[in-house]
A and B are shown apart, each in its own frame.
Chain A
Amino acid sequence: MINYFKDVLGGFYSLLAGMAVTIRYFVKPIVTVQYPRHKIEMTPRYRGYPQLIIDPETHTHRCIACEMCSRICPSQLITLDGTKFPGEKQKRATKYIHEHQYCSLCGLCTEVCPTDALEYSKEYRLAGYRREDAVIDHLVLLQHRQYAVGLPVTPIPTEAEIAAAIAEEAAAKEAKAKAAEKAKAKEAPAEEVKK
Chain B
Amino acid sequence: MNFLVQTLGTAGATMVVGLIGVMALVAVNALFLIWMERKVSAHMQLRPGPMEVGWHGAIQTIADALKLLGKELITPEEVDRPIFWLAPIVIFLPVLLSFLVIPFSATWIIRDMNVGIVLILAFSTLAVLSILMAGWSSNNKYAVLGAIRSVAQNVAYEIPLLITVMSVILMVGSFKLTDIVAAQERLWFVLVQPVAFILYIICATAETNRAPFDLPEAESELVAGFHTEYSGMRFALFFLAEYTNMFICSALAAVLFLGGWHGPFLPGVVWFLIKVYAIIFLMMWFRWTFPRTRFDQLITFAWKILIPLAFANLLITALVLKLR
- Which residues of A pack against B, CB within 8 Å? 8, 15, 18-19, 21-23, 25-32, 34
Least CB distance, A6 to chain B, in whole angstroms = 13
List residues of chain B with CB under 8 Å of any chain A CB: 40, 43-48, 51, 285-286, 288-290, 305, 309
Most buried by B among A8, A21, A26, A34: A26
Q: Indicate which residue in A15, A21, A26 contacts B43 across the interface (CB closer than 8 Å).
A: A26
- CA A29 to CA B48, docked complex, whole Å: 9
Are B46 and A28 touching (Cβ within 8 A)? yes
Contact residues in A for B47 (Cβ distance below 8 Å): 30-32
Chain A residue at smallest Cβ distance from B305 = A8
B60 vs chain A, min Cβ distance (A) = 14
List of A residues within 8 angstroms of B44 by Cβ: 22, 25-26
Chain B: CB-nearest residue to A16: B289
Are A15 and B290 in contact (CB-based, < 8 A)?
yes
Of all chain B residues, the one with the shortest Cβ separation from A28 is B46
A192: shortest Cβ distance to chain B, in Å?
Answer: 93
With A8-B305, A26-B40, A34-B51 as contacts: A19 and B46 at CB distance below 8 Å: no
CA distance A34 to B305 in the complex (A): 46
Contact between A18 and B46, CB atoms less than 8 A apart: no
Contact pick for B285, options A23, A29, A31, A34, CB 8 Å: A23
A21 and B48 contact, Cβ closer than 8 Å, known pairs A8-B305, A26-B40, A26-B43: no
When the two chains form their complex, are residues A18 and B51 in contact, meaning their CB atoms are under 8 A apart? no
24 A-B interface contacts by CB (under 8 A): A15-B289, A15-B290, A18-B289, A19-B285, A19-B286, A19-B289, A21-B289, A22-B44, A22-B289, A25-B43, A25-B46, A26-B44, A26-B285, A28-B46, A29-B46, A30-B43, A30-B46, A30-B48, A31-B46, A31-B47, A32-B46, A32-B47, A34-B48, A34-B51
Give Cα A21–Cα B43 distance, bound, in whole angstroms.
13
**Nearest opposing residue in chain A for B42, CB measure:** A30
Name the prevailing secondary structure of the A interface residues: helix
Q: Which residues of B contact A8 (CB under 8 A)?
A: 305, 309
Taking the closest CB of chain B, its distance from the CB of A10, in whole angstroms, is 12
Q: Which of B47, B51, B289 has its CB near the most chain A CB atoms (within 10 A)?
A: B289
Expressed in whole angstroms, the minimum distance between the Cβ of A86 and any Cβ of chain B is: 58
Q: How far is the CB of B73 from chain A (nearest CB, A)?
A: 35
Interface centre among A21, A22, A23, A30, by most chain B C-beta atoms within 10 angstroms, is A22
Closest residue of chain B to A20 (Cβ to Cβ) is B289
Cβ contact within 8 Å between A22 and B285:
yes
B51 surroundings in chain A (CB, below 8 A)? 34
Least Cβ–Cβ distance between B148 and chain A, in angstroms: 27
CA distance A19 to B309 in the complex (A): 22
* Contacts A15-B289, A34-B48 supplied; 20 other A-B pairs, CB < 8 Å: A8-B305, A8-B309, A15-B290, A18-B289, A19-B285, A19-B289, A21-B289, A22-B288, A25-B43, A26-B43, A26-B44, A26-B285, A28-B46, A29-B46, A30-B43, A30-B48, A31-B47, A32-B46, A32-B47, A32-B48
Q: Which residue of B lies closest to A29 (CB)?
A: B46
Q: How far is the CA of A19 from the CA of B283 in the complex (A)?
A: 11
Given A8-B305, A19-B285, A34-B51, is A25 in contact with B290 using a C-beta cutoff of 8 Å? no
- Measured CB to CB, the nearest residue on chain B to A11 is B305
Q: How far is the CA of A29 from the CA of B46 in the complex (A)?
A: 7
Tell me, in angstroms, the Cα distance from A30 to B309 when the chains sit together.
Answer: 40
Distance between Cα atoms of A34 and B47 in the complex (Å): 10
Complexed CA–CA distance, A23 and B40 (Å): 10
- CA–CA, A38 and B285, complex, Å: 29
Residues of chain B within 8 A of A23, CB atoms compared? 285
